[in-house]
Amino acid sequence: MNTTNIDFLKNIPIFSDLDDETLQKIYKSGLLQNFRKNSVILSEEDAGSAMFFIVEGKVKVSRSSGDGKEVILAILNESDFFGEMAILDGMTRSATVTAVEDSKLFIIQRAEFLELLRNFPEVSISLLQELSRRLRAATMKIKALSLKDAEGKVATVLLQIADEVGKIRQGIVEIDDLPYQQELANMAGTSRETISRTLHSFAKKGMIELEGSKVKILDYEKFKELYGQ
């Protein structure tokens, strides 16, 4: 069996315990689709007809606030998935998902994914574990953002991104591609000006280093101790 075309499925946590034969069946049940940077993949209130897995690239999950501003709920990366809520409850999409960079997605239609859950309990359990992790993280983030001042909110978002995509080396966490300041502001529930001012304040205090879209948290454990949830 040629396993090259299923290698990306092995990196998706909810499929990691499945054998190659089963992964081949999953691969045949879906399709690969490319999305250009800034393309809207799905919109809030759309019908939920498919499940999406990120093969390459990065997407943002967002909602519109009451005053029309974008609120970024999450940044998802390679091997992450989205679209599960509407698949499971049959309701409309709860958020908009946009490609942050050119991305390749693996898409499984609702009927095929529900059949997969029925046939493979281990996938269902892995999915529930991931949903629980996301709910716990979202609850902690909401609590943190509601209690902290502007500096604390920015730090919370930095820590979230560091945990998701940061590379740690000798106590230093490197984030290679920090989101734009407006996107950080939308994640933290503050303004772009506050993001800029706070990042430069952190840099001046020797907590971080800034270089274009790259940022280093110079003493990750200390930073987490000061601002962690």
In the block, tokens 């709920």 appear at 73
C-alpha atoms less than 13 angstroms from C-alpha of 212 in its C-beta half-sphere: 3
> 123 and 199: one domain?
no
Look at the chain and report how many structural domains it folds into.
Answer: 2
> 78 and 152: one domain?
no
> 74 and 167: one domain?
no
> 14 and 121: one domain?
yes
Examine the fold and report which residue of 117, 142, 167 is the final residue of a domain before the chain moves on. 142
Cβ neighbors of 203 (< 8 A, separation 6 or more) are 209, 210
Question: Residue 1: pLDDT band by 50, 70, 90 thresholds?
Answer: very low
CATH of the domain at 202: 1.10.10.10
Residue 160 is part of which domain span?
A: 148-227
pLDDT digits (tens, 9 = 90+) for 172-201: 999 988 888 888 888 888 889 999 999 999
pLDDT digits (tens, 9 = 90+) for 107-116: 999 999 999 9
CATH of the domain at 19: 2.60.120.10
pLDDT digits (tens, 9 = 90+) for 29-62: 999 999 999 999 999 888 888 999 999 999 999 8
> 115 and 57: one domain?
yes
> 66 and 134: one domain?
yes
Examine the fold and report which residue of 108, 142, 176 is the final residue of a domain before the chain moves on. 142
What's the confidence (pLDDT) of residue 2? Answer: 45
Question: Residue 74: pLDDT band by 50, 70, 90 thresholds?
Answer: confident
**Kind of pairing between the strands at 103-109 and 31-35:** antiparallel
Q: CA 226 to CA 229: how far, in whole Å? A: 9
Q: Which two tokens stand for residue 21?
A: 């034969």
Q: CA 37 to CA 147: how far, in whole Å? A: 34
> 129 and 161: one domain?
no
Calculate the average pLDDT of the chain: 88
Examine the fold and report which residue of 142, 160, 191 is the final residue of a domain before the chain moves on. 142
> 95 and 188: one domain?
no
> 131 and 205: one domain?
no
- Backbone φ and ψ of 109, nearest 5°: -70, 155
> 29 and 98: one domain?
yes
